[in-house]
Chain A
Amino acid sequence: MRYLGRKAAFYLVAVWAALSLNFLLPRMMPGNPVDVIIARTQNTTPLPPEARRALELQFGIGGKSLWHQYLDYIGGLAHLDFGLSITYFPTPVSTVVAQALPWTVALVGVATAISFTLGIGLGALAGWRRGSWLDAVIPSATFLAAVPYFWLALVLLYLLGNIWPVFPLAGGYDDTVASPGWSGAFIGTAVYHGVLPALTIVLSSVAGWMLGMRNMMVSTMYEDYVLTAEAKGLRPRRVMLAYAARNAVLPSVSGFAISLGFVVAGSVVTEAVFSYPGVGFALLQAVQNADYPLMQALFLVITLTVLGANFLVDLLYTVIDPRTRHGG
């Protein structure tokens, strides 16, 4: 229990620090939203310079001190009120995030799960049959992981979107096919739009899982209990899965939990390249428009998912590895 209490206290402090940094960082960026909005309207129907005051009042910036803004921010968080987005003024930030979050969670979540399953499976096989052709796949897969992600994504988009138009160029779904909802047609078009971005995520991350799993597998295979199992005459398949792989997968499981935490955060580049309507794309818009409230809410979601995933891993370890419980 004391262990749990200590952990909980640590995470509370971490959350507070993250919240405060989250408040300060956007305000240290150059530019303020009113200037950006005025500058942008000037390309189309310019706002009169006198409109500045009205905008400052609308956005609630200008007059207030930083400390006052901080108190407002913390107070708002307590009520889960993130304020109004400036990019999409006067839409509440929570609406913008809620519209974007499902896209990201679905795309990156599914891609991460596929990548993990595929990587672990192939890694286990490659470790079990060392020196086989599968082992030779690993270096080429690591090559894909080593290529900068955005480049890989752009090349695939160019090849599969432009040269051979197999996949769409941008967006989350085709609105001429279906409008959002739980209809088959909509899910079909959403999946079709998600395949290419998901493919790039899988291609660039699968090698990491494979390599880790393969190496763990190799060292586990020299453990005494694997030798015992083989000596008992168990079928190789059973030895591989129930004895070797089961133990080799442990470090990868904690890695997976942490990477799930980054599902929300790690999508900025993917979504920018594929113009995918998720959290990463919303974050990009928020930064371009100096949209503090939206940035804060998005960073908060990201921070909390990462911290939450870490906390879960910590808890999980107390279950699967008793040594961590006794402050060893």
Chain B
Amino acid sequence: MRFRTTLRRRRTALAAAAILAAASLAACSGSGTAKNDSGSPILTVANGQTGQFTRNFNPIPQTANTPTYGMIYEPLLFFNQGKAGDIQPWLATSYKLSADGRTATFQLDPRAKWSDGQPLTAEDVAYTYQLAKDDPKLNTGGLEYEAIKVLGAHEVSITTKAPLYTELWSLAGRTYIIPKHIWEKVKDPSTYQNPNPVGSGAFMLKSFSSQTYTVVKNPRYWQPGKPQIGGLRFVMYGNNTATLTALNAKKLDWAGLFVPQIEKVYASKDPHNKYINTPLFVTELTANTKAFPTDQAPVRKAISLAVDRAQLNKLAFSGYSPPAGPSFLSQRDQGKYLDPEVGAVSLKADAAGAAQVLADAGWKKGSDGILRDGQGRKLTITAKVVTGWSDFINALQVIQQELKPIGIDFQPQEVSYASLTADRNNGKFQMLIDNAYGGPQPYQMFKYLFSKKLYRPVGENAPGNYARFTDPAIDTALETIESTNDEAKLKPAYAAIQKVSAAQLPYIPLVYASSLTEYRDTRVTGFPTADNLYAIPEIWQAPDSGYVAMRLKPVK
């Protein structure tokens, strides 16, 4: 299951950091994954899940097992988040947007068929979207559908109430097409476990138990020559230490786990131990702009100035996380959309400058060394962080030390994950450390951070915009981006957002969040590399892991 993996992958290993080095030493020899699979190997992969697997392969809820998304079921298009604007055909060979952007017409690949031999047609595609249109329970994309039309055996058009320029990812990249002839007999598709999935994808479920399951090559797969590997076996190791041990013992071919000092404890152990870091998201301090003292722009600015991001990367993030600036653009999008003015903002720590900003705003140091404003209120900030997320906790401790000499009393506070989520959504915090999430366009992250549509007053559950920050320039810019695909209009709109972000800093950018994938190239090659990032190679990244798996080549 995609999301449950993520917590553990990053952080639990750190908690056991002391044990790690020993663990990898201990794993000197292993019998290896050697299976007699003559040319089409079954890879062993760990997606970081712990506890137990349950036999759930229903692609509609967001909780099914990893291979459901992309390996067994397929979307219409593939959105490569590794490259700006890279959209590849999948079930659809091409698509066209209408002039008003509200209607998307898809040409389906006529070769596509289900693993039971039936052809995949426009009827199946229309059925999939009709389910979401008719039942809000199944509308996990949250799109407002207006009409879904079958235009031919392999042609479908979908019309929504709002333009699709920024929603195409949700519509065509993250909706998985299901076979009508099977699902129309299902009573409640939202709670159906789909234990024996029939999909169009390159892999099929072969065996299942609560500790391991295997998907194998679909012999009828419609894309010629794919997949070349025999399949994938999903295993779980309980915790990151055990996963790393298995990786070093050559028992795993593909894993995604956070490993501190990866060169030392993994990469240097064997020339075939490879890894790739694909940072997509930005780790930031979310400031509650509706609570004192984080509602004061000078305070936010001073913190941003005082933080030494390079030091943070070194001390808290094992050196995998390059400093991030207030543009909030992923490294992928900077070439295209970075505003030169915002891009020129120095990310060097400047404690003197920070002190000056606060002095100019009227803050004066008290006898205890803590700043006070004109009304005598102390500059004390509580920053929430999830218990056990040691990289985030370390980061806050580093920041605490850096802010102390300036006179900011910065106090990290550890809370449970559910509690942090609730406090964040309801605006009950001053500051917290979080990752800002995005998608294939910069729009998704900007919407998540700044959208007026996601804004809720303090005390109400907000779906995004947790800083509770709105600005008319941002609203106009987001509206423009939603309503056009004209680059000449997009560039200034994106620039406008970056300018407000840099001036107001409702979110203080820290670093790009690392995302490590470990793989061994003894049995297969063809994983995405830094030079050829044709997909995000994370095993839990959907549908990318399926897109990658069917392109892997066995080593002869």
What are 27 sample pairs from A and B whose C-beta atoms fall under 8 A apart? Answer: A30-B418, A40-B3, A41-B62, A43-B437, A45-B69, A46-B438, A46-B444, A46-B448, A47-B62, A48-B170, A49-B448, A50-B142, A51-B141, A52-B142, A89-B61, A90-B61, A91-B56, A96-B52, A169-B239, A169-B245, A171-B237, A175-B211, A180-B210, A180-B211, A275-B50, A277-B238, A281-B51
Q: Judge whether B142 and A41 touch: CB under 8 Å.
A: no
Instruction: Give the docked Cα–Cα distance between A289 and B438 (Å).
Output: 23
Stretch at the interface among B221-229, B343-351, B535-543: B535-543
Pick the contact of A162 from B22, B55, B211, B464 — CB < 8 Å?
A: B22
The contact string, 1 if C-beta is below 8 Å from chain A, for chain B 407-439, is 000000000111101110100000000010111
Shortest distance between the CB of A36 and any CB in chain B (Å)? 6
Stretch at the interface among B131-139, B304-312, B471-479: B131-139
Say which size band chain B's interface belongs to: 35 or more
Assuming the A-B contacts A51-B141, A169-B241, A274-B238, are A288 and B209 also in contact, with contact meaning beta carbons closer than 8 angstroms in the complex?
no
Instruction: Give the docked Cα–Cα distance between A47 and B22 (Å).
Output: 39
Interface residues of A in 75-91 (CB under 8 A from B): 84-85, 87-91
Question: Is A57 in contact with chain B by the CB < 8 A criterion?
Answer: yes
Question: Is B174 in contact with chain A by the CB < 8 A criterion?
Answer: yes
Q: Judge whether B418 and A163 touch: CB under 8 Å.
A: no
Cβ–Cβ < 8 Å partners of A173 in chain B: 211
Pick the contact of B62 from A37, A53, A87, A276 — CB < 8 Å?
A: A37
Q: Judge whether B435 and A42 touch: CB under 8 Å.
A: yes
The contact string, 1 if C-beta is below 8 Å from chain A, for chain B 51-76, is 11011101001110000010000000
Question: Is A183 in contact with chain B by the CB < 8 A criterion?
Answer: no
Cβ–Cβ < 8 Å partners of B54 in chain A: 85, 88, 91, 95-96, 99
Cβ–Cβ < 8 Å partners of A50 in chain B: 141-143, 463
Q: Judge whether A49 and B422 touch: CB under 8 Å.
A: no
In the complex, the chain A residue whose C-beta lies closest to that of B20 is A162
Q: Judge whether B142 and A49 touch: CB under 8 Å.
A: yes
Instruction: Give the docked Cα–Cα distance between A179 and B53 (Å).
Output: 14
Shortest distance between the CB of A186 and any CB in chain B (Å)? 10
Shortest distance between the CB of A292 and any CB in chain B (Å)? 11
Interface residues of A in 129-182 (CB under 8 A from B): 158, 161-163, 165, 168-173, 175-176, 179-180
Interface residues of B in 128-184 (CB under 8 A from A): 136-143, 170, 174
In the complex, the chain A residue whose C-beta lies closest to that of B56 is A91
Assuming the A-B contacts A35-B461, A49-B142, A91-B54, are A170 and B418 also in contact, with contact meaning beta carbons closer than 8 angstroms in the complex?
no
Q: Judge whether B63 and A37 touch: CB under 8 Å.
A: yes
Known: A43-B435, A47-B140, A48-B142. 20 other contacts (CB 8 A): A30-B416, A30-B423, A35-B421, A35-B425, A41-B3, A46-B438, A46-B439, A50-B141, A54-B137, A57-B136, A58-B137, A87-B4, A90-B63, A91-B54, A99-B52, A162-B26, A165-B26, A171-B238, A175-B209, A176-B251
Q: Judge whether B463 and A49 touch: CB under 8 Å.
A: yes
Question: Is A100 in contact with chain B by the CB < 8 A criterion?
Answer: yes
Instruction: Give the docked Cα–Cα distance between A39 and B170 (Å).
Output: 17
Q: Judge whether A55 and B140 touch: CB under 8 Å.
A: yes
Instruction: Give the docked Cα–Cα distance between A89 and B55 (Å).
Output: 10
Interface residues of A in 50-69 (CB under 8 A from B): 50-55, 57-58
Interface-central residue, B56, B211, B419, by most chain A CB under 10 Å: B211
Q: Judge whether A175 and B61 touch: CB under 8 Å.
A: no
Question: Is B503 in contact with chain A by the CB < 8 A criterion?
Answer: no
Q: Judge whether A275 and B239 touch: CB under 8 Å.
A: yes
Question: Is B6 in contact with chain A by the CB < 8 A criterion?
Answer: yes
Say which size band chain A's interface belongs to: 35 or more
Shortest distance between the CB of A45 and any CB in chain B (Å)? 5
In the complex, the chain A residue whose C-beta lies closest to that of B463 is A49
Instruction: Give the docked Cα–Cα distance between A297 and B328 (Å).
Output: 44
Cβ–Cβ < 8 Å partners of B238 in chain A: 169-171, 274-277
Q: Judge whether B209 and A180 touch: CB under 8 Å.
A: yes
Shortest distance between the CB of B53 and any CB in chain A (Å)? 9
Question: Is A252 in contact with chain B by the CB < 8 A criterion?
Answer: no
In the complex, the chain A residue whose C-beta lies closest to that of B195 is A91
Cβ–Cβ < 8 Å partners of A58 in chain B: 61, 137, 190-191
Instruction: Give the docked Cα–Cα distance between A258 and B405 (Å).
Output: 57
Q: Judge whether A54 and B26 touch: CB under 8 Å.
A: no
The 4 closest A-B pairs by CB, nearest first: A50-B142, A275-B238, A31-B418, A170-B238
Assuming the A-B contacts A57-B136, A171-B236, A171-B237, are A163 and B26 also in contact, with contact meaning beta carbons closer than 8 angstroms in the complex?
yes
Q: Judge whether B52 and A40 touch: CB under 8 Å.
A: no
Question: Is A29 in contact with chain B by the CB < 8 A criterion?
Answer: yes
The contact string, 1 if C-beta is below 8 Å from chain A, for chain B 206-244, is 010111100000000000000000000001111101100
Question: Is B19 in contact with chain A by the CB < 8 A criterion?
Answer: yes
Q: Judge whether B421 and A163 touch: CB under 8 Å.
A: no
Assuming the A-B contacts A170-B238, A275-B242, A277-B51, are A48 and B7 also in contact, with contact meaning beta carbons closer than 8 angstroms in the complex?
no
Cβ–Cβ < 8 Å partners of B297 in chain A: none
Cβ–Cβ < 8 Å partners of B69 in chain A: 45
Q: Judge whether A89 and B136 touch: CB under 8 Å.
A: no
